Amino acid sequence: MGLSINTNPSAMAALRTLSLTQNALSSTQRQIETGLKVAEPKDNPASFTIGQAMRGDIASLEAIEEGLAFGQATVSTGNAGVLQISNALIDINQKITQAFNDGLDVTILQAEVDAQLAQITSVVNETVFNGVNLIDGVSPALDVLTGLGGVTQTIANQDLRLATLGIATIDLTNPAAALIALNGAELLVGTAMTALGTAANSFDSQAEFTQLLTDKLKEGLGILVDADLAEASAALQSLQTKEQLGIQSLAIANSRPQSILQLFQ
């Protein structure tokens, strides 16, 4: 092709090559800055779409983890209250047994039992976590988010009020009747303890599984969209060198038309 001042194919080719190099360089720099090889749809539409869906699942699982943590804390508080009541019943059992001895002052034992009964009522009323009471018999059941799609686990309220336990009053002047009533109360408290203990174990297992699932999703998302920074660093150096060479090549190509001036000297 002859020399022309209107058209410079070499310069246009050099400019195209330089433009491609700079685009690749910009992409590589963005990978290094963000740590992502797929940061927006144009990088890889399919991978970006899958990644967004995975991010949605991860966000949902994190919400489930928060719900489970709340459930664990609430049930743990309920379990603490039940244990306290159980311990009080053990102490009352001891007082009733002592009341069978004619030589002891029943009045003193009765006062101690009445104090324990008052303590049980106090525990029932105060076993509250973030406004939720699982042992007062009147609060609603607790629904805890445990799975994707709004799956929940319901924890029924355990009624441990004295009237429900059948020990609203305990008369130590009749220790045999008192012991029968106490045995019934201990069975009810044991049932509540089993229910809340089972719920606690269930939440612990579900929380562990949810955490594992979240970690695996994050790992998969990283494989899909994270940049290999070692590779990106090597590519950056190579592209920077290519850019410099491209600039020099373009400068040489742009200087070629000037050689026409020599023909007119």
What pLDDT score was predicted for residue 253?
Answer: 66
Q: Left (φ > 0), alpha (ψ -120 to 50) or beta: where does 35 sit?
A: left
In this prediction the pTM is 0.74
DSSP codes of every residue in 73-140: HHHHHHHHHHHHHHHHHHHHHHHHHHHT-TTS-HHHHHHHHHHHHHHHHHHHHH-EETTEESSBSSSP
Give the whole-angstrom CA distance, residue 70 versus residue 78: 12
What pLDDT score was predicted for residue 105?
Answer: 84
What pLDDT score was predicted for residue 256?
Answer: 67
Residues of the chain with pLDDT under 70: 1-8, 11, 14, 18, 24-28, 31-34, 228-229, 232, 236, 239, 246, 249-250, 253-254, 256-265
The answer to whether residues 68 and 203 touch, using CB atoms and an 8 Å cutoff, is yes
